[in-house]
Amino acid sequence: MIGALELGLIYAVMAVGVYLTFRVLDFPDLTVDGSFTTGAATAGVLITNGG
């Protein structure tokens, strides 16, 4: 249950960032989404290679 709560809070922070760029700044910046998947891929490679 704690893991699900932590993951939900992380996604909530990401969603607030996307909301701010779309609604407040009126600029469709999807850097948050791109950097999230890039970080996941980097973490996967590092975990696989033992680094």
State which residues form the domain around 37. 1-49
Residue 5 to residue 41: CA distance in whole angstroms: 23
Query: In Å, what is the CA distance from 29 to each residue of 5, 8, 41?
Result: 27, 22, 20
Note down pLDDT in tens along the chain; length 51 residues. Answer: 778 998 898 889 888 877 887 887 777 777 767 787 888 899 999 999 986
pTM tops 0.85: no
Question: Number of structural domains, the chain?
Answer: 1
| Closest C-alpha among 43, 26, 27 to residue 51 | 43
